[in-house]
Amino acid sequence: MAGGLDLGVVKPYAYAALLLVSLIGILTYRRVKGEWERLPPMSWKLISFLLGLMAILVASLMEYPFSPSLFSSGRVSLIQMTLLGIFVGPIEEFSKLLPVKMFHEEGWVLWKKTLGTAFFFGLIEAVLYSIMLLIIGVPLMALLRLALVGFHVALTSIAATDLIAEGSWRGYLRASVYHSLYDLPLLVYVGGYRGEGIYALMVLGFLSLAAVAVEVLRSEGVAERILGKDETPILEFEFTSSP
C-alpha cells in the first residue's frame, strides 16, 4: 500500500484480520439479533441511516486535522498516519454514540437507534472505501472493509450497552482502544513505517480483535440490563463530559 498496491509485511495481518473480523460479524449478528428480539419492536432503519450519515460527517470533520494536506502537501506521512491510528478509535466510537445525547428516550430505543447508526456508519464507510480500494487495485483491503461492518456494530454494542444501562464510559474506552489497536498496524505501514515495531503492532491488533470476539461472546442479558435499569440518570448524563 505504500506504493499504492503493495501490502508487504502487513498482508498476513490483513488476511488474519479478515478471518477474525468475519467471525466477529457472525457472532455479533447472532448476539444482537437475540437481544434485539427481546426488546419491543420499533421503526429504526430510516432514522438510523440518517444518523449513520451524520456520524460519518462528524467523524470526518474530527479526523480532518490528520489529513495529508495539513502535514505534507497532500502526501501521506508517518506522523499523520500514526496520529490518525491513535485517534481513529475515540473519534469514530464517539460519533456512533451521538444518538444517546440527541434523543431523550427509553434506553431500549436509544440502544436500537445507536446500533442501527453503527450498522449504517460501517456500511457507508465500507462502500466508499471499497470503491476506492478496488480502483487502486487492493481487493483484499476492499473485502476487509466490507467485513468491518459487523466490527463497527460489535464495538458500538460494547460502548452503548455500558453507557445506556450503567451510565458508564468504560465500554466506550474499551471499544476505542480495540478500534485504534486494530487500525494502527495498517495505518503506520501506509505512512511508510518499516521498522521491527510493525510486528508488535500487528500482534496487538490481532489481540484486540480477539478481545472484541470474547466480549461479543460474553454479551448476554443486554435486553434485561437495559429494560431493568432506571434510565433517568443516563438520559441526564452529559455526553459532552470527559470520559
pLDDT tens digits for 166-194?
Answer: 889 999 999 999 999 999 999 999 888 99
pLDDT in tens, 103-142: 888 999 999 999 999 999 999 999 999 999 999 889 999 9
Mean pLDDT (whole number) for 83-100: 96
| pLDDT at 243 (0 to 100) | 33
Q: Which pLDDT value is given to residue 235?
A: 38
- The pLDDT, as a whole number, for residue 159 is 97
Residue 94 CA: distances (Å) to CA of 18, 149, 232: 24, 16, 21
**What integer best gives the mean pLDDT of the chain?**
88
Instruction: Please report the pLDDT score of residue 77 as a whole number.
Output: 83
AA letter at 193: Y
Q: Does the pLDDT of residue 242 top 90, yes or no?
A: no
Average pLDDT over residues 28-51: 94
Would you state the pLDDT for residue 69?
57
Residue of 154, 172, 171 whose CA lies nearest to 209: 154
Position 45, amino acid: K
Look at residue 65 and tell me whether its pLDDT is greater than 90.
no
SS (H, E, C) the chain: CCCCCCCHHHHHHHHHHHHHHHHHHHHHHHHHHHHHHHCCCCCCHHHHHHHHHHHHHHHHHHHHHHCCHHHHCCCCCHHHHHHHHHHHHHHHHHHHCHHHHHCCCCHHHHHHHHHHHHHHHHHHHHHHHHHHHHHCCCHHHHHHHHHHHHHHHHHHHHHHHHHHHHCCCHHHHHHHHHHHHHHHHHHHHHCCCCCCHHHHHHHHHHHHHHHHHHHHHCCCCHHHHHHCCCCHHHHCCCCCCCC
pLDDT at 238 over 50: no
Q: In angstroms, rounded to a whole number, what is the distance separating the alpha carbons of residues 143 and 141?
A: 5
Q: Which residue has the higher pLDDT, 233 or 169?
A: 169
Q: What is the pLDDT, as a whole number, of residue 66?
A: 81
202-206: average pLDDT: 97
